[in-house]
């Protein structure tokens, strides 16, 4: 049970949502956009969040689109990870999002909620970072489309009152061969498999025009793709093991209850090696 009362709104349009946010914020109600609610509910129960109002974006048609348009995939922020999984529209996102929690919870978790959550892992972001996705943001002054690398640095840096409407991915990039692996404290998690576990390391990679692009989660306190890491892995003048050793040096690798920095480094190196094998990148 959530130990306090809050107001619930379900607007029909993006414009209504941002206006509502503005009004509620001015009234001091500390509003939050609401996707699947899995994090908002868990944190509210623990008093780590106490919104006076939530704005559920699931009634907004733009947040529920799942379409191929002019060479791009458009995926609404309110779609659940299960809906995306069933659509088969973006295989790498399906793999990254398809190992989050279990099937019942993925029926609730939305793409936007996973991207904007406080949890460090946010595994859906990995697919978007490797594929250079665009992000459609709604604010009071309208919509803006920006590349994920302009707005995602450890977390999605959007202005107060703005919300994530859609993600847009170049269809050709979304169809490239990919590799995606997750290791939890209990061992490797295959896809699809209903085993709940936070990642020690979760990684996604693609091979675009003969160059590797890699994003990881679990390694640091946020999902990340680093140009230095991609450059080190693509430095084909030196042996593969050396490239991997050089690449991992760029990550500020964390230690926590899931695994020490040394263990994470060991797992990460193995995942990078497996990715190269799978993508036939030697
Ligand atoms: C048992 C369990 C295990 C899990 N394991 C993993 C895991 O291994 N890896 C992983 O990545 N995740 C995992 N998760 C998911 C993660 O912890 C979050 O619960 C989830 O991503 C939140 O999604 P949601 O749609 O429910 O978001 P909500 O709870 O609705 O919102 C989360 C935050 O995002 C904001 N928000 C939501 N939608 C938008 C939007 N469109 N625009 C702007 N802000 C928005 C909200 O205001 C809130 O601050 C797990 C969850 C559970 C319950």
pTM: 0.97
pLDDT-based confidence at residue 69 (cuts at 50, 70, 90): very high
pLDDT at position 193, please? Answer: 59
Residue 51 sits in a domain whose CATH number is: 3.30.43.10
Give how far Cα 114 sits from Cα of 36, 71, 144, 227, 275, Å.
9, 25, 20, 23, 24
- Kindly write down the DSSP assignment for every residue of the chain, as one continuous string: --SS--EEE--SSHHHHHHHHHHHHHTT---EEESS-HHHHHHHHTTS---SEEEEGGG-GGGG-EEEETTEEEEETT-BHHHHHHHTS-HHHHHHHTTSS-HHHHTT-BHHHHHH-SSS--THHHHHHHTT-EEEEEETTEEEEEEHHHHEESEE---TT-EEEEEEEEHHHHTS-EEEEEEETTEEE-SS------EEEEEEEEEETTEEEEEEESSSSS-B--HHHHHHHT-TTS-HHHHHHHHHTTS----BTTB-HHHHHHHHHHHHHHHHHHTT--
Ligand 1, atom nearest to 158 Cα: 43
Residue 129 sits in a domain whose CATH number is: 3.30.465.10
pLDDT at position 232, please? Answer: 97
Residue among 168, 193, 170 at smallest CA distance from 180: 193
Residue among 252, 278, 275, 277 at smallest CA distance from 265: 252
Give, to the nearest 10 degrees, the angle between helix 261-278 and helix 240-248.
140
Does 133 share its domain with 94?
yes
Which tens digits make up the pLDDT trace of 78-115?
999 999 999 999 999 999 999 899 999 999 999 999 99
* Centre of ligand 1 from the C-alpha of residue 75, in Å: 16
Instruction: Let me know if residue 137 belongs to a domain.
Output: yes
Does 74 share its domain with 137?
yes
| Count: domains in the chain | 3
Which tens digits make up the pLDDT trace of 162-198?
999 999 999 999 999 999 999 998 877 766 655 678 9
The residue whose C-alpha atom lies closest to atom 50 belonging to ligand 1 is 101
Does 216 share its domain with 184?
yes
Peptide bond into 192 cis (omega under 30): yes
Ligand 1, atom nearest to 54 Cα: 47
Choose one of 46, 58, 113, 184 to mutate for the ligand 1 pocket test, by most ligand atoms within 8 angstroms of C-beta: 113
pLDDT at position 64, please? Answer: 98
Choose one of 41, 52, 116 to mutate for the ligand 1 pocket test, by most ligand atoms within 8 angstroms of C-beta: 116
- 133 Cβ contact list (under 8 Å, min separation 6): 127, 147, 148, 167, 168, 169
Ligand 1, atom nearest to 116 Cα: 34
**Which residues line the pocket of ligand 1, CB cutoff 6 A?**
32-40, 57, 77, 100-101, 105, 108-110, 112-114, 116-117, 119, 121-123, 163-164, 196, 198-199
Q: Over pLDDT 90: what percentage of the chain?
A: 90
Mean pLDDT estimate for the chain: 95
* Centre of ligand 1 from the C-alpha of residue 20, in Å: 22
Which tens digits make up the pLDDT trace of 132-157?
999 999 999 999 999 999 999 999 99
Which tens digits make up the pLDDT trace of 237-260?
999 999 999 999 999 999 998 899
CA–CA gap between residue 127 and residue 143 (Å, rounded): 23
The residue whose C-alpha atom lies closest to atom 18 belonging to ligand 1 is 39
Does 159 share its domain with 232?
no
Ligand 1, atom nearest to 40 Cα: 29
Does 43 share its domain with 69?
no
pLDDT at position 195, please? Answer: 63
Residue 7: phi and psi, rounded to 5, are: -90, 150
pLDDT at position 49, please? Answer: 94
pLDDT at position 191, please? Answer: 67
The residue whose C-alpha atom lies closest to atom 17 belonging to ligand 1 is 119
pLDDT-based confidence at residue 203 (cuts at 50, 70, 90): very high
Does 166 share its domain with 186?
no
pLDDT at position 1, please? Answer: 80
* Centre of ligand 1 from the C-alpha of residue 108, in Å: 9
The residue whose C-alpha atom lies closest to atom 38 belonging to ligand 1 is 113
Which residue range is the domain that position 203 belongs to? 177-278
* Centre of ligand 1 from the C-alpha of residue 237, in Å: 41
Does 39 share its domain with 71?
no
Domain termination site, one of 125, 147, 173: 173
pLDDT-based confidence at residue 50 (cuts at 50, 70, 90): very high
């Amino acid at each position: 049970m959530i130990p306090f009362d809050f107001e619930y709104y379900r607007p029909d349009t993006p414009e209504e949502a941002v206006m509502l946010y503005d009004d509620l914020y001015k009234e001091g109600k500390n509003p939050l956009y609401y996707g699947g609610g899995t994090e908002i509910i868990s944190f509210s129960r623990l008093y780590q969040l106490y919104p006076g109002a939530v704005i559920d974006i699931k009634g907004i048609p733009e947040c529920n689109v799942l379409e191929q348009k002019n060479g791009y995939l458009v995926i609404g922020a309110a779609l659940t990870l299960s809906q995306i999984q069933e659509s088969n529209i973006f295989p790498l996102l399906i793999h990254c999002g398809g190992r989050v929690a279990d099937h019942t919870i993925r029926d609730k978790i939305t793409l936007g909620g996973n991207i904007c959550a406080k949890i460090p892992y946010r595994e859906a972001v990995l697919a978007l970072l490797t594929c250079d996705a665009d992000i459609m943001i709604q604010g009071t002054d309208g919509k803006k489309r920006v590349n994920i690398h302009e707005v995602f640095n450890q977390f999605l840096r959007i202005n107060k009152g703005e919300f994530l409407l859609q993600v847009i991915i170049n269809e050709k990039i979304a169809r490239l061969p990919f590799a995606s692996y997750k290791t939890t404290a209990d061992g490797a998690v295959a896809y699809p498999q209903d085993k709940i576990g936070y990642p020690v390391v979760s990684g996604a990679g693609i091979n675009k025009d003969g160059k590797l692009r890699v994003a990881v989660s679990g390694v640091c306190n946020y999902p990340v793709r680093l140009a230095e890491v991609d450059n080190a892995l693509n430095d084909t003048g030196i042996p593969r093991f050396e490239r991997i050793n050089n690449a991992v040096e760029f990550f500020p690798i964390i230690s926590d209850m899931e695994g020490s920095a040394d263990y994470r480094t060991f797992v990460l190196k193995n995942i990078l090696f497996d990715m190269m094998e799978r993508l036939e990148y030697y």
